[in-house]
Amino acid sequence: MSESSVSEAQVREVLRDVNDPEIGRPLADLDMLREVKIGPDNAVAVTVELATPAYPRRERIAHSIGAMLAAKLPQAGRVDVSFTARVKGKQSGGAIGLTVQNIIAVGSGKGGVGKSTVAASLAVGLQLAGARVGLMDADIYGPSIPHLFGVNQRPEIVEQHAPDGQTIRRIKPIDAAGLKLMSIGFMIGFDEPVIVRGPILHRTIQQFLQETAWGELDYLIIDLPPGTGDISLTLSQLVGLAGAVVVCTPQQLALLDAVKAINMFRKVKIPVLGVVENMSGEIFGRGGAKQKAAEMSVPFLGEIPIDAQIRVNGDAGHVRNSFAEGSPSRPYLMNVCEQTAIEIARTLLETPSMPTLEIL
């Protein structure tokens, strides 16, 4: 037992250089070291603030902190590490009145690759991790989010009071077990053929984003229509997106479509967060998307194996069931959510503040 006592400043100094294993930067640089308390017998209690509640294997940080203190400050007693999370973002929906930290677009080069399933899973997974999440279905050609969540009620219109005393009408998103859900299908009808041309499309999306009472969110996931760049362009003019997630299947032809989608996002100045390989396995092969992502210098956000249960859950309106304990898809889906959240945090560090509106 050592006689000398440990000070908070000493602990902070020693822990400065502990690395965040995901972001690859020291805790001090990331301002992650929050409370440091010294208790009886030099017990050290440290609170670390993570960039996302969807932080994978946070025990690695606790382990590094313990090891660093043991090596550099041997007189320290028992070490307790606890975690909080605060999602930061570009908040660039502010120009149209949104209080959303990060807006994530989910796109694909073509239909049927599981884009909506991945968008819905991102929303569910981030919410399960503890984030405040909204999901907006902007796939005007085939809105499927309501179906995936088994929701068919019409959203309510609510009246809110603006700071200047004016009454404004807002669409209340559907609450799906805490997840805020809105679909373009609610506004344009699900069964009508969609013939929406440029300017109207732009107006519809703007209205849809702006007039929904999203409240405060950490992440707003937007399920885009496949292929087309129209809505992406509109979004990039209205808000500064955290970035786009591109979903593709592993076979060569599908990968060509993914390349087109990546190029499309680049053209409309939406950063590509990465690529998800969906339906990997016996039928379509495996690993193609990872390789393509590397070729295009885009992060790979994980694979989701083909699993009949994912289809069954989606068809039944129970996407959440794919996240149930014991579901074989759960670790893959969670991994995609975590990698996406980490990539957002990393991108934000590289481009901390963006102008709110580029102008139309």
Which DSSP string do the residues of 120-157 spell out, in sequence order? HHHHHHHHHHT--EEEEE--TTS--HHHHTT--PPPPE
Q: How near is the Cβ of 131 to ligand ADP at its closest, in Å?
A: 22
Radius of gyration (Cα) for the chain, nearest Å? 22
Which DSSP string do the residues of 300-356 spell out, in sequence order? EEEEEE--HHHHHHHHTT-GGGGGSTT-TTHHHHHHHHHHHHHHHHHHHHHS----S
Q: Of residues 52, 101, 116, 335, which one binds ligand ADP by CB under 6 A? A: 116
Q: Please choose, out of 83-91, 154-162, 306-314, 349-357, the segment that lies near ligand ADP by the rule CB under 6 A.
A: 306-314
The closest of 79, 131, 108, 60 to 226, measured between CA atoms, is 108
328 near ligand ADP (CB under 6 A): no
201 near ligand ADP (CB under 6 A): no
Q: Which is nearer to ligand ADP, 64 or 144 (CB)?
A: 144
144 near ligand ADP (CB under 6 A): yes
Q: Of residues 53, 155, 225, 314, which one binds ligand ADP by CB under 6 A? A: 314
77 near ligand ADP (CB under 6 A): no
Q: Which is nearer to ligand ADP, 91 or 108 (CB)?
A: 108
Q: Which is nearer to ligand ADP, 236 or 278 (CB)?
A: 278
211 near ligand ADP (CB under 6 A): no
Per-residue contact track with ligand ADP, 148 to 167, x per CB under 6 A?
A: --------------------
Tally helices (H) and strands (E) across the chain.
11, 15
Q: Which is nearer to ligand ADP, 77 or 142 (CB)?
A: 142
108 near ligand ADP (CB under 6 A): yes
Residue 358 has phi, psi (to 5 degrees) of: -80, -25
| Cα–Cα distance for residue pair 80/292, rounded to 1 Å | 42
Are the C-beta atoms of 182 and 154 separated by less than 8 Å?
Answer: no
Are the C-beta atoms of 170 and 158 separated by less than 8 Å?
Answer: yes
The closest of 54, 103, 91 to 245, measured between CA atoms, is 103
The closest of 294, 296, 287 to 266, measured between CA atoms, is 296
Q: How near is the Cβ of 322 to ligand ADP at its closest, in Å?
A: 9
Q: Which is nearer to ligand ADP, 198 or 281 (CB)?
A: 281
| Cα–Cα distance for residue pair 264/347, rounded to 1 Å | 19
| Residue list 214-273, contact with ligand ADP (CB under 6 A) | 226
Q: Of residues 93, 107, 114, 143, which one binds ligand ADP by CB under 6 A? A: 114
Q: Which is nearer to ligand ADP, 93 or 114 (CB)?
A: 114
Q: How near is the Cβ of 22 to ligand ADP at its closest, in Å?
A: 25
115 near ligand ADP (CB under 6 A): yes
**Which strand (E) or helix (H) includes residue 258?**
helix 252-267
The closest of 288, 277, 262, 252 to 335, measured between CA atoms, is 277
Q: Which is nearer to ligand ADP, 66 or 250 (CB)?
A: 250
Q: Is 91 helix (H, G, I), strand (E, B) or coil?
A: coil
Question: Which residues of the shown chain bind ligand ADP in the complex (CB under 6 A)?
Answer: 108, 111-117, 144, 226, 278-279, 304, 306-307, 310-311, 314
